[in-house]
Amino acid sequence: MGDNNNVNLPPGFRFCPTDEELVVHFLQRKASLLPYHPDIIPDLDLYPYDPWDLDGKAMVEGKKWYYYSRRTQNRITVNGYWKAWGCDEQIMSSSSSKRVGVKKYYVFHIGEAPEGVKTNWIMQEFRLSDGAASSSSSGSTGRSKRRSHSKIDFSKWVICRVVEHSCDNDNDDDDGGTELSCLDEVFLSLDDFDDISFPN
């Protein structure tokens, strides 16, 4: 996979945000129509693309791809679909202990649902919590009207982080918390994974 040549970061710097930083510094500010720096995460209509086609479209750092997308129930791509896995994970503020966002996992399957073949592509979809989304939406009302976007609900933005998971990732010290837990690994390795019913 290639590097993101459009990222203008000083030598030695890498893009390794925590979950909280993705939600508070990037997603919440985008939903509020506020500037954020560095402005390096592109907007992308994710779901028509297979995960291996993200190079040149999403911001890439190592084996992780980042992009903004709109929330949608249609997660079908050209050659497969993203299947929800596990329960929603709450993202808490380190300063106020308030919930600022939610993270949900998806696993990419090749083929048509529900008979698709599970792959090692994992997507983490970050969205604002209901309270943060309402605050961002109301706070951006005046600005959105001035920018001719009054009919767009900016609280529906999400940030997606896609990881091609492999055994080599277990030895990567720079994963920044994106690795799956040991219990997650057990579930993902089950042959009858598709027969397990998880809440959506």
What are the tens digits of pLDDT across the range 143-175? 444 444 444 555 689 999 999 987 655 554 444
**Predicted confidence (pLDDT) at residue 131 exceeds the cutoff of 90:** no
Q: What percent of the chain has pLDDT over 90?
A: 43
| Distance between CA atoms of residues 120 and 109, nearest Å | 9
Closest C-alpha to 156, from 71, 61, 88: 71
Tell me the two tokens of residue 62. Answer: 């190592």
- Name the CATH architecture for the domain at 19-167+176-188: Beta Complex (2.170)
- Amino acid 45: pLDDT: 84
Are residues 50 and 80 in contact, defined by beta-carbon separation less than 8 angstroms?
yes
- Amino acid 68: pLDDT: 94
Tell me the two tokens of residue 37. Answer: 């720096």
Helices H, strands E: what count in the chain? 5, 6
* pLDDT tens digits for range 70-99: 988 888 999 999 999 999 999 999 998 899
- Amino acid 9: pLDDT: 62
